[in-house]
Structure 1
């Protein structure tokens, strides 16, 4: 048995389409999820996913880059209460820096702040990057740790196949048994992938799912 864990932005959905998932990808993932566990692991908030991925029905979601799980309508927050005091102190520092930010249920988002990477370092929190966008979250949390907590809840005992494109997918790759990069992935992600697909974004995900269903993926790897 295996579980597929997929990033969303620039993996399931293309930036060229405003990150709105295509009907073709949606239908394929929904069909696949009826037979095998499929989890979307993303930095996105639930409120944005509802708009961008309307009608997408995976087995579960790992949101806000790890600390928020969504199984059906049940939300599970993987965070200590002291985080919210820590978050307030970080927000004060961001305001002093003059940076624009938004706050999710747990994490802090900053768009296009790559030039401030040296100033976005906190002993009390973890900073994850997705290209030039930053996410500030509890120190002990990332996509990989969020997925592992979900796996425990689902009582899943098989292998994990992860697919992604950017820096914040590297922790996801670290907990996977097999790592797949879409064609538009960053070079640093491609370097650690077991397989780099020929197709970009959702077309790459469709290709991967078809390889799994046909058994062709397992002819290349020892994952059974």
Structure 2
């Protein structure tokens, strides 16, 4: 089973590389669920991955805003452009997701994003957990050429969705990768692995306090990738 870590800065990329993580999901604003990272951050992450001879290591989250996964035509245009930019910058893959107002997969939007990825890996993120028929959605994503899905099994935490994760893995039958993610703790990893999923995903964050930000600067604490948690997570993966 593989392990993916969500990171939001160059230091997090180094932590993941040093710990032997299989890949990263590169994000901004992880505290809000993650948004599209900047061009500079993508370039820095890709440079580190190339130096380590890990061409597929950087998977870029492409999400234009928080507040759900139903996008306007303008937002979709931006997302398609960001997927193309991530590919051009050397990312090994992108992480996307789009739904209709009825809560089903937006097949047209997803097809456009897969087309914009133009051969690099595509992960469909936890928008998967908002659909009423996840098994049917999985089959549709196979048909669109998506590489993997990220799911908590429809639960707030993956450990509480192991039944659906096992069902998704059985439904996938090797046609698409199933990655468990959402509230994953190190102590949950072995039980999640028992479902047969292909990978586990976690953020492995710790909060630190910075200098006083002042009025308008927001909270003076922020999250970083914890080397200790990442090492513990890697060690907890069966077969490592």
User: So what's the TM-score if we normalise by structure 1?
Assistant: 0.35
| TM-score, normalisation: structure 2 | 0.33
Higher relative contact order (CA 8 A, sep 6+): 1
